[in-house]
Amino acid sequence: MSTPAARPWARRTGPGVEAVLWRATAVFRAVSCAYAGALIANGYGEYRYPLGGLAVFAVMAAWTVVAARVRGGRLFGVADVAVAVACLLATGLVETREHLADGRPNLTVSWVAAPVMAWALRGGARRGVAAALAVAVPDVALRALYAEVFSQTTFNGVVLLLMVGVIVGYLGRLAIDAELRMARAVALETATRERERLARDLHDSVLQVLALVRRRGGELGGEAAELGRLAGEQEAALRALISAEVLAVVPGPRLPGSGDDDGGTADLRALLRPYASASVQLATPATPVVLARAVARELAAAVGAALDNVAAHCPPGTRVWVLLEDDGAAVTVSVRDDGPGIAPGRLVEAERAGRLGLAQSVRGRVRDLGGTVEIVSAPGQGTELELTVPR
Amino acid sequence: MGGVRVMVVDDHPMWRDAVARDLAEAGYDVVAACGEGRQAVRVAAAVRPEVAVVDLRLPDISGVEVTRALAALDPPARVLVLSASGEQEDVLEAVKAGATGYLVKSAARAEFLDAVARTVQGDAVFTPGLAGLVLGEYRRLAAVPAPAPDAPRLTDRETEILRLVAKGLTYRQIAERLVLSHRTVQNHVQNTLGKLHLHNRVQLVRYAIEKGLDTP
């Protein structure tokens, strides 16, 4: 039945599926009761005990009112079936044997399907079928033992009751479960969003403090300057982490069940973000630069190799700027450092001498992507690499 | 007295005080220091700052809104955005709303004071990061399925200069490389922001007219 988790949600957003189904059952019960009443009024003069027919209708009407107000638990469900069966069996006292043998319906007509629906809603298809049998067996017994006939109509009635039990039970559960799952998903999403917001706020204030420590520490000098430097490193690391977290989710098709480089896409900004540090500044567009995942990875790796090259060949304290541009037809990443620069011819010389660092790790990667690398450098002016990959 | 009138808007009390102290020590007249956006807009209307140093993340309205309000004052306050995390879209929005400069909070004191001095002069303060954002924004405007005829465009020279700024060259280095005067480089950079700002205002007005907000 409705678990505590489902209830508050159902209450908050108006009647849930379950409430609607229960209301439908109550309406069905009332309409069936009215129909049975009409039939009883119609056959009033032909009954063996006409007043008995009236009494049965009174009981049915009273119970219909009670059942509309009390949804109840298992005990009420048992009483529900008991009342239905009692009213059904009362047909044997009120009706004449001949009428029943003729195939006249029971006094209760379709009213007995209501407790079956209630059980199906309460406990699914299995309970629904059990309730249907509990009602059908007395019905069949009445026909077979009292009227001594077993007609097609009786059989149809039994089949219809069983179908009500199965279908209402199955579909009702399905709808209620779907609603519950939906509610859980909504709750989860809300919680996740809230957690993200908290993390953002927390990160922001931590960043502020780190930036402040760095700034003040640098001014005070001595040991404080060392603290300031450490704070600065942590600030850069944290900022890179946050940006990576925010940007890592790239909308785009992911083929299920395939491997890693599966034709999915990636935002190149998110892949470059981890390179940012106190000495490496990153400039990117505000909107995602979406590439095939494999291409984005290779290009990011080439940028990483270029940065490694700066670290290996330039004095400490050299600053690097990485610029990412996307003009629709091609993606360009520029890596510029303010190091001592490379003398003309030295790159070619190095390449010829078999020292393949820059050539292999940057040029090779970009060439494999169908792109080009341009190197501009002069002594004293730093080095600039421009990696361009067509889309 | 006689100092330039500066206002500080930052929700972090330690930061607000540190920035205000730095500015006061450098000879500026710090006329107000606010921790909330709406308060800042109200106070600014009264104290008429010439320059405002604004944090983007505020508890009530965003720094972008504050920037818009300050830039709409008469005479407008020049806005230097100072932000902690690289809130990319926000920085771009602030520039479109009329901010003329952007600096990360981890910038050194000297760098910060230099940025304020340039903002006072009416010069644009660009970090390489901001140049990258502005370049991206112009490309986005040009690439939208059917670019509007009045969408702002960069001249080749402006693109060239913005790219060099984004690659970390100083205005002086750019002037040397392109054989231009320092002032010319400055003006080109300024224009790129001015056009974005103007476009943004035109769009806001157009939106207002479409929605019938221009008539009382």
Distance in angstroms (rounded) separating the CA atoms of residues A385 and A104: 95
At residue B208, the pLDDT reads 76
Helix axes A50-69, A113-141, angle to 10 degrees: 150
Give the side-chain half-sphere CA count within 13 A for A56: 32
Distance in angstroms (rounded) separating the CA atoms of residues A121 and A114: 11
Q: How many CB pairs under 8 A join A and B?
A: 110
Do the bridges between strand B78-83 and strand B101-104 make them parallel or antiparallel, or are there none, so unpaired? parallel
* CA-based radius of gyration for chain A: 40
Measured between CB atoms, does B140 come within 8 Å of chain A? yes
Q: Who among B104, B107, B167 is closest to A336 (CB)?
A: B167
Q: Which two tokens stand for residue A265?
A: 């896409």
Does the distance separating the beta carbons of B167 and A384 come in below 8 Å? yes
| DSSP output for A37-76 | HHHHHHTGGGSSSHHHHHHHHHHHHHHHHHHHH----HHH
Percent with pLDDT over 90 in chain B = 45
Whether B192 and B134 have beta carbons less than 8 Å apart is answered as yes
Q: Which two tokens stand for residue A197?
A: 């917001």
Measured between CB atoms, does B143 come within 8 Å of chain A? yes
Distance in angstroms (rounded) separating the CA atoms of residues B152 and B141: 8
Do the bridges between strand B101-104 and strand A320-326 make them parallel or antiparallel, or are there none, so unpaired? unpaired
Beta strands in chain B (DSSP E): 5-9, 29-34, 51-54, 78-83, 101-104
* CA-based radius of gyration for chain B: 17
May I ask the CATH class of domain B130-210?
Answer: mainly alpha
At residue B87, the pLDDT reads 59
Q: What is the ipTM of this complex?
A: 0.84
- Which residue of B19, B60, B135 to mutate against A (max A Cβ within 10 Å)? B135
Tell me: pLDDT of A285 over 50. yes
Whether A140 and A150 have beta carbons less than 8 Å apart is answered as yes
Domain A253-390 sits in CATH at 3.30.565.10
Tell me: pLDDT of B92 over 50. yes
Helix (H, G, I), strand (E, B) or coil at B63: helix
Whether omega for the bond prior to residue B75 falls within 30 degrees of 0, making it cis, is yes
Helix (H) or strand (E) holding A83: helix A74-94
At residue A6, the pLDDT reads 41
Q: Which residues pair with A292 in a beta bridge?
A: A265
Whether A20 and A168 have beta carbons less than 8 Å apart is answered as no
Comparing alpha-carbon positions, the chain B residue that sits nearest to A289 is B136
Residues 35-74 on B with a CB inside 8 Å of A are 57
**How far apart, in Å, do the first and last CA atoms of chain B sit?**
43
Distance in angstroms (rounded) separating the CA atoms of residues A241 and A255: 27
Measured between CB atoms, does B106 come within 8 Å of chain A? yes
Comparing alpha-carbon positions, the chain B residue that sits nearest to A239 is B85
Percent with pLDDT over 90 in chain A = 28
Lowest mean pLDDT among A102-106, A136-140, B87-91, B125-129: B87-91
Distance in angstroms (rounded) separating the CA atoms of residues B25 and B176: 34
Residue-wise pLDDT for A347-390, tens only, equals 666 655 544 556 667 888 888 899 998 888 767 678 888 999 99
Q: Give span(s): CATH 1.10.10.10, chain B.
A: 130-210
User: Phi and psi dihedrals of A26, rounded to 5?
Assistant: -60, -40
**How far apart, in Å, do the first and last CA atoms of chain A sit?**
55
Distance in angstroms (rounded) separating the CA atoms of residues A134 and A126: 12
Residue-wise pLDDT for A165-216, tens only, equals 999 999 988 888 888 888 888 888 888 877 777 776 777 778 778 888 887 8
Does the distance separating the beta carbons of A287 and B133 come in below 8 Å? no
| DSSP output for A205-225 | HHHHHHHHHHHHHHHH-HHHH
Distance in angstroms (rounded) separating the CA atoms of residues B119 and B79: 8
- Which residue of A284, A320, A331 to mutate against B (max B Cβ within 10 Å)? A284
Contacts of residue B105 in chain A, CB cutoff 8 Å? 207-208, 211-212, 215
At residue A248, the pLDDT reads 44
Q: Who among B92, B108, B143 is closest to A215 (CB)?
A: B108
- Which residue of A233, A287, A377, A383 to mutate against B (max B Cβ within 10 Å)? A287
Does the distance separating the beta carbons of B139 and A235 come in below 8 Å? no
Q: Which two tokens stand for residue A262?
A: 């599966």
Whether A298 and A358 have beta carbons less than 8 Å apart is answered as no
pLDDT grade, residue A244 (50/70/90)?
A: low
Whether A279 and A291 have beta carbons less than 8 Å apart is answered as no
Contacts of residue A320 in chain B, CB cutoff 8 Å? 168
Tell me: pLDDT of A152 over 90. no
Does the distance separating the beta carbons of A243 and B128 come in below 8 Å? no
Interface of A with B (CB under 8 A): 203-205, 207-212, 214-216, 218-219, 232, 235-236, 239, 242-243, 281-287, 319-321, 323-328, 334, 336, 338, 384
Measured between CB atoms, does B144 come within 8 Å of chain A? no
Average pLDDT on A304-312 reads 84
Average pLDDT on B167-186 reads 91
May I ask the CATH class of domain B5-125?
Answer: alpha beta
At residue B143, the pLDDT reads 79
Question: B83 vs chain A: nearest CA distance in angstroms?
Answer: 9
| DSSP output for A93-108 | HHS-HHHHHTTPPPTT
Does the distance separating the beta carbons of A281 and B136 come in below 8 Å? no
Contacts of residue B91 in chain A, CB cutoff 8 Å? 286
Average pLDDT, chain B: 87
**Which single residue is written with the structure tokens 């700066």?**
A310
pLDDT grade, residue B2 (50/70/90)?
A: low
Residues 174-213 on B with a CB inside 8 Å of A are none
Q: Give span(s): CATH 3.30.565.10, chain A.
A: 253-390
At residue A196, the pLDDT reads 73
Distance in angstroms (rounded) separating the CA atoms of residues A348 and A354: 10
Contacts of residue A208 in chain B, CB cutoff 8 Å? 12, 14-15, 84, 105
Q: Who among B12, B133, B137 is closest to A205 (CB)?
A: B12
At residue A263, the pLDDT reads 63
Q: Which residue has the higher pLDDT, A38 or A278?
A: A38
Chain centroid to Cα B205, Å, comes to 20
Average pLDDT on A245-273 reads 59
Lowest mean pLDDT among A8-22, A113-127, A229-243: A8-22
Q: Which two tokens stand for residue A357?
A: 């660092």
- Burial (CB count <10 Å: 0-12, 13-18, 19+), residue B74: exposed
Tell me: pLDDT of A5 over 80. no
